[in-house]
């Protein structure tokens, strides 16, 4: 059975003090939930703090089998003279297990695309990290009805070069760019339609077994109010949450909205 996941991408937000407060509130909620009878069914939770906080957050959740930690980006090389960059090996050794690759903010603000994202994904896998690979169309692309092609091209370039055994370790996140931070969520039907399309693409390119096994998350203005409706769809395996992941009550509501 594929994994159900709620992930929180903090982006470039919070001071260390604020991050510590968020994490300790979340920890209390997760502890209470785990101690209740329904708690045993909690989905995987993955937190993506900024780099400087990784080890601190990792220490808090060190013995939690359902709480994971990830970085928001990694470099495409192993190591070397890349001032200001962070490698997958470093992220792994800081206690993280996941890394976001190809977020639309990296694509649009830092010019990342095609080959670089394929290399980053390779680096992540080589270092034992689970890549959370993002794809999604911009508004004009959806308006031109080009959204399926855009997403297919992003997956083709970023992921479909790899062997099935490697791809099975990747999580895909569909994040329509027009829904990110805008308060405009994709409707549950729009999310399901694209997720089903991605799964069919996986089945056609590889096989149905792989398609059934891979988790596909939705991201883009997902919040405590709309999460349950989005998660109810059969091809939506959870969410990659931005703004609402900074508010412990909201983020926790989203976690509990995802039924195993």
Binding interface with ligand 13P (CB under 6 A): 9, 103, 175, 180-181, 219-222, 240-244
Question: Which token pair is 115?
Answer: 């080959």
The nearest distance, CB 16 to ligand 13P, in angstroms, is: 21
Instruction: Spot the catalytic one: 103, 137, 141, 147.
Output: 103
Report d(CA 229, CA 196) in Å as an integer. 16
**DSSP letters of 94-119?**
TT--EEEES-HHHHHHS---HHHHHH
How many C-beta neighbours within 10 Å does residue 78 have?
Answer: 12
Q: Reply yes or no on whether 103 is catalytic.
A: yes
Q: Reply yes or no on whether 75 is catalytic.
A: no
Report d(CA 121, CA 126) in Å as an integer. 9
Question: Which token pair is 242?
Answer: 């931005």
99 vs 180 by CB, closer to ligand 13P: 180
Phi-psi region at 155: left, alpha or beta (left = phi > 0; alpha = psi -120 to 50): alpha
CA angle 119, 120, 124 (to 5 degrees): 120
43 vs 220 by CB, closer to ligand 13P: 220
Instruction: Spot the catalytic one: 105, 137, 141, 175.
Output: 175
The nearest distance, CB 254 to ligand 13P, in angstroms, is: 10
118 vs 244 by CB, closer to ligand 13P: 244
92 vs 239 by CB, closer to ligand 13P: 239
The nearest distance, CB 204 to ligand 13P, in angstroms, is: 27
The nearest distance, CB 132 to ligand 13P, in angstroms, is: 9
Q: What is the DSSP letter of 37?
A: G
| Chain residue whose CB lies nearest ligand 13P | 242
**DSSP letters of 111-150?**
---HHHHHHHHHHHHHTT-EEEEEE---HHHHHTT-HHHH
139 vs 203 by CB, closer to ligand 13P: 139
The nearest distance, CB 177 to ligand 13P, in angstroms, is: 9
CB 89 within 8 A of CB 79: yes
Residues involved in catalysis? 103, 175
């Amino acid at each position: 059975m594929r994994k159900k996941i709620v992930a929180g991408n903090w982006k470039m937000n919070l001071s260390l003090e604020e991050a510590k407060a968020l994490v300790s509130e979340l920890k209390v909620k997760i502890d209470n939930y785990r101690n209740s009878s329904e708690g045993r069914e909690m989905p995987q939770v993955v937190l993506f703090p900024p780099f400087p906080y990784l080890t601190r957050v990792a220490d808090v959740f060190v013995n939690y089998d359902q709480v994971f930690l990830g970085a928001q980006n990694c470099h495409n090389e192993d190591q070397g003279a890349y001032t200001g960059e962070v490698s997958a090996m470093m992220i792994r050794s800081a206690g993280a297990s996941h890394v976001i690759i190809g977020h639309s903010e990296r694509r649009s603000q830092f010019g990342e695309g095609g080959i670089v994202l394929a290399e980053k994904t390779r680096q992540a896998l080589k270092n034992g990290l689970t890549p959370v690979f993002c794809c999604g169309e911009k508004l004009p692309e959806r308006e031109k009805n080009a959204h399926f092609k855009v997403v297919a091209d992003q997956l083709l370039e970023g992921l479909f070069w790899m062997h099935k055994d490697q791809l099975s370790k990747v999580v895909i996140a569909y994040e329509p760019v027009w829904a990110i931070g805008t308060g405009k969520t994709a409707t549950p039907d729009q999310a399901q339609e694209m997720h089903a399309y991605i799964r069919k693409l996986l089945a056609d390119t590889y096989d149905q077994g792989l398609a059934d096994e891979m988790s596909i998350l939705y991201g883009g203005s997902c919040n405590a109010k709309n999460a349950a409706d989005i998660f109810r769809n059969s091809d939506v395996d959870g969410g990659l949450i931005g703004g609402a992941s900074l508010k412990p009550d909201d983020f926790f509501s989203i976690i509990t909205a995802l039924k195993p």
